Amino acid sequence: MGYDFKKIEEKWAKYWEDNETFKAQNTSKKPKFYVLDMFPYPSGAGLHVGHPLGYIGSDIYARYMRLQGYNVLHPMGFDSFGLPAEQYAILTGQHPAKTTKDNIKKYKEQLKSLGLSFDWSKELQTSDPNYYKWTQWIFLKLFNCYYCFQNKKAISIETLIEKFNNNGNNINSYNQEKVDVFTANEWRGFDENKKEAILQSYRLAFLSETIVNWCPELGTVLANDEVSEGLSVRGGHPVYQKKMKQWCLRISVYSDRLLSSLESLEWPSSLKEQQKNWIGKSQGLVINFKCAHKKLSIAVFTTRPDTIFGVTFLVLSPEHNQIQNIIHSEKKEKLKQYIDLSRKKSEREKIANVHEISGLFSGAYAINPINNEKIPIWISDYVLAGYGSGAIMAVPGHDTRDFKFAKKFKINIKTVITNNKNSD
């Protein structure tokens, strides 16, 4: 007797759907277990091979945990709001509401035909107003709150406004960033624009100028994984690094809580290390290097202030806000050319490209505050605008990238830390 897989699979798929076999129970006394997959973009005519490649592995684990006696929540949804859906609609000449609806229907049919144990009663669609009203609600909560380091939690911004009204502000930094100091009388005398500019330094959701991947052809900002070799993954259009005003979240105030919470997760140590790097909290100092011939100083954040005796040059990101003030006039055209080249690289490419060393000497010098040595100021895209102050003190004797840079451009290299342990 032959194995009629089509008949058998259709029978059980119908049985699972009719009986809600994989539905997670809200009132179950079983221990809870959550298995979450990445939601697909419904931006094509159907699934590609990469979808089941990931889903089958997590589905096996979800089934295993159910057999172990857990109440497993294994939902599925569709990341249907944004550039992929928009581009598919443009490509097909149809309204995105229609293409998204049609594609989701096709995706669901395919996912169900694979026999995956999703709880379809918990389905999400990010383009559904019933879903995104909550993302908007969250944004408003963040906008109207600030993080109180004393209480270690978010508090209404109204509490801060009341404090300013009664006592002014006597601190000059918040979350390691400079803020205005003012009296209560001064605060009450500020107009609404000035007050809001001050509150932007505290709000959990705030406007800020940041370096983004800008694609003029698509008319939007792209994430790093949507850019490859200076082109958009979708359409192959040129992408440039550009400073733009964006809504940002002050997630850095939660770095301590994020790091401590990692310890309770049953994750592999390598994955925890990746998360620590993503959180990116660094302990260090900000050192100000005065320019040799101008009344300017360059702030540098460093995690190794003990190596300052080995500093032989400074390096600024091409987007650093002091460059135009320090660079010699005869180098401005070369600077423009260098910045244009740098703008075509994504932040990820700048980090990953450790073999290609490029840079431009500004023509200016800074003074090492420890030994008063005059050191050259260089510009290079291996320094990222978004890390620290967008400037580094280069210690080529003890840093691989600084060493390669110094060797290429024939800059002095000092060794200031040695291992004095005698070998056996």
pLDDT in 10s for each residue of the chain, 424 residues: 688 988 999 999 999 999 999 999 999 999 999 999 999 988 877 888 889 999 999 999 999 999 999 999 999 999 998 777 777 787 788 888 898 999 999 999 999 999 999 999 999 999 999 999 999 999 999 999 999 999 999 999 999 999 999 999 999 989 878 899 999 999 999 999 999 999 999 999 999 988 888 999 888 888 877 888 788 887 889 988 888 899 999 998 999 889 999 988 888 999 998 898 888 777 888 899 999 988 899 999 998 898 999 999 999 998 888 888 888 888 888 888 888 888 777 676 676 666 678 899 999 999 999 999 999 999 998 898 777 788 999 999 988 889 999 999 999 999 887 765 544 4
Question: 392 with 302: CB under 8 angstroms?
Answer: yes
Question: 318 with 359: CB under 8 angstroms?
Answer: no
In this structure, what token pair is assigned to residue 133? 């009203």
In this structure, what token pair is assigned to residue 361? 């000497």
For the entire predicted model, the pTM comes to 0.76
Residue 86 is given by DSSP the state H
Question: 322 with 385: CB under 8 angstroms?
Answer: no
Q: Please, which residues bridge with residue 220 across strands?
A: 215
For the chain, domains (ranges, CATH) are 5-127 (3.40.50.620), 137-203 (no CATH), 207-249 (no CATH), 285-409 (3.90.740.10)
In Å, the largest CA–CA distance within the chain is 92
Question: 100 with 149: CB under 8 angstroms?
Answer: no
DSSP string across 180-209: --B-HHHHHHS-HHHHHHHHTTTBSEEEEE
Residue 143, phi-psi category: left (phi > 0), alpha (psi -120 to 50), beta (remainder):
alpha
| CB neighbour list of residue 142: distance below 8 Å, 6 or more residues apart | 154, 203, 204, 205, 249
For residues 192 and 130, give the distance between their C-alpha atoms in angstroms, rounded to a whole number: 34
For residues 349 and 17, give the distance between their C-alpha atoms in angstroms, rounded to a whole number: 46
Question: 208 with 246: CB under 8 angstroms?
Answer: yes
For residues 312 and 374, give the distance between their C-alpha atoms in angstroms, rounded to a whole number: 8
For residues 155 and 315, give the distance between their C-alpha atoms in angstroms, rounded to a whole number: 39
